[in-house]
């Protein structure tokens, strides 16, 4: 089927962010090209009262634990050929559906794409987990190497990415016949987009869709404190290292210890002592 006519779903996991999810849905409906379905996976204490519409599938289940499980539920429910995953605290500011469809049409080698993510000025200097905003990029370039490299920006001279951001990423549904989001990840599911990107790239390439813009407002509701986020990062990234053995090289054993050193420095800098080694399996 020609990509310009392929069915398109937007899947949004959400929990206890009524104002955020309403803004997200309104912003989607304000665009020239509409998705065939908007699927809200509602994990809130009480179900949302969302703006009605034939396009909307509101699935309420407070027993769902975390965004990875919610995304898999959204995959099972939507039945479309292209699935765009959005965080509930984003605002769509361009004709994203049309632009993502066209990007996948002209790139048959692509299994997934990422929208351009903009951050409001008032959120631009919010401190990332454990470091000041100015240090975060440099820190990743120093300590997140080899297996742990994040690949936030396109490869030189191209729009190809090594990973896509979870707040605005789209995939061909055919990928989900081979890969699903990790059901073992719960709550914030730190690193789920990075880990899923690694598996997705076994089947094709990932690209940035220029002009397909969303604003990520980064809601303060349901955000982990820095200590808890650092704990989940420590646990999840080491779990990914063990899980994705096929994606590792011998030198990555060194990069694991280098990454752990960087994390230990962050913990000490924050006054938390040293992270517990613990088990990285699940």
Residue ranges covered by each domain of the chain: 3-127+150-221
Q: What confidence tens digit (pLDDT) does each residue in 217-227 have?
A: 988 777 777 88
Q: What confidence tens digit (pLDDT) does each residue in 67-119 have?
A: 999 999 999 999 999 999 999 999 999 999 999 999 999 999 999 999 999 98
Q: Is the confidence at residue 59, as pLDDT, over 50?
A: yes
Secondary structure element (H or E) that encloses residue 19, with its range: helix 18-29
CB 171 within 8 A of CB 111: yes
Task: Say which range, 71-75, 165-169, 211-215, 267-271, has the weakest mean pLDDT.
Answer: 267-271
Secondary structure element (H or E) that encloses residue 44, with its range: none
Q: Is the confidence at residue 242, as pLDDT, over 90?
A: yes
CB 111 within 8 A of CB 199: no
User: What would be the CATH architecture of the domain defined by 3-127+150-221?
Assistant: Alpha-Beta Complex (3.90)
User: DSSP character for 109?
Assistant: T
pTM here?
A: 0.91
From residue 207, give the alpha-carbon distance in Å to each of 115, 158, 223, 257: 9, 9, 28, 30
Backbone angles phi, psi at 125, to 5 degrees: -115, 20
| Residue listed under structure tokens 């490299």 | 149
Q: What confidence tens digit (pLDDT) does each residue in 145-162 have?
A: 999 987 767 877 789 999
Residues 6+ apart with CB under 8 A from 56: 25, 37, 38, 40, 50
Q: How far apart are CA 196 and CA 138, in angstroms?
A: 24
Please name which of 144, 147, 155, 175 lies closest in space to residue 247, comparing C-alpha atoms.
147
- Band of residue 4 on the pLDDT scale cut at 50, 70, 90: low
Dig out the tokens for 140 from the structure: 């990743």
């Amino acid at each position: 089927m020609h990509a310009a006519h392929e069915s398109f779903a937007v899947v949004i996991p959400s929990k206890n962010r009524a104002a955020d999810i309403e803004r997200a849905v309104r912003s989607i409906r304000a665009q020239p090209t509409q998705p065939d379905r908007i699927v809200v996976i509602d994990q809130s204490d009480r179900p949302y009262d969302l703006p009605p519409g034939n396009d909307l599938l509101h699935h309420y289940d407070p027993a769902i634990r975390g965004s990875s499980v919610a995304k898999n539920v959204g995959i099972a429910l939507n039945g479309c050929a292209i699935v765009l995953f959005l965080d509930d605290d984003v605002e769509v500011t361009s004709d994203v559906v049309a632009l993502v469809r066209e990007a996948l049409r002209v790139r048959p080698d692509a299994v997934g794409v990422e929208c351009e993510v903009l951050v409001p000025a008032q959120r631009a200097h919010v401190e990332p987990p454990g470091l000041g905003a100015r240090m975060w990029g440099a820190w990743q370039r120093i300590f997140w190497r080899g297996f742990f490299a994040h690949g936030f920006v396109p490869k030189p001279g191209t729009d190809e990415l090594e990973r896509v951001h979870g707040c605005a990423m789209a995939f061909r549904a055919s990928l989900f016949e081979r890969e699903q989001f990790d059901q073992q990840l719960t709550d914030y599911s730190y690193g789920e987009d990075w880990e899923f990107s690694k598996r997705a790239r076994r089947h094709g390439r990932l690209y940035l869709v220029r002009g397909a813009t969303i604003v990520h407002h980064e809601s303060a509701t349901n955000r982990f404190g820095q200590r808890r986020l650092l704990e989940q990062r420590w646990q999840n990234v080491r779990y990914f290292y063990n899980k994705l053995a096929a994606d590792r090289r011998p030198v990555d054993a060194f990069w694991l210890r280098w990454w752990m050193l960087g994390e230990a420095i962050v913990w000490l800098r924050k006054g938390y002592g040293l992270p517990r080694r613990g088990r990285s399996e699940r």
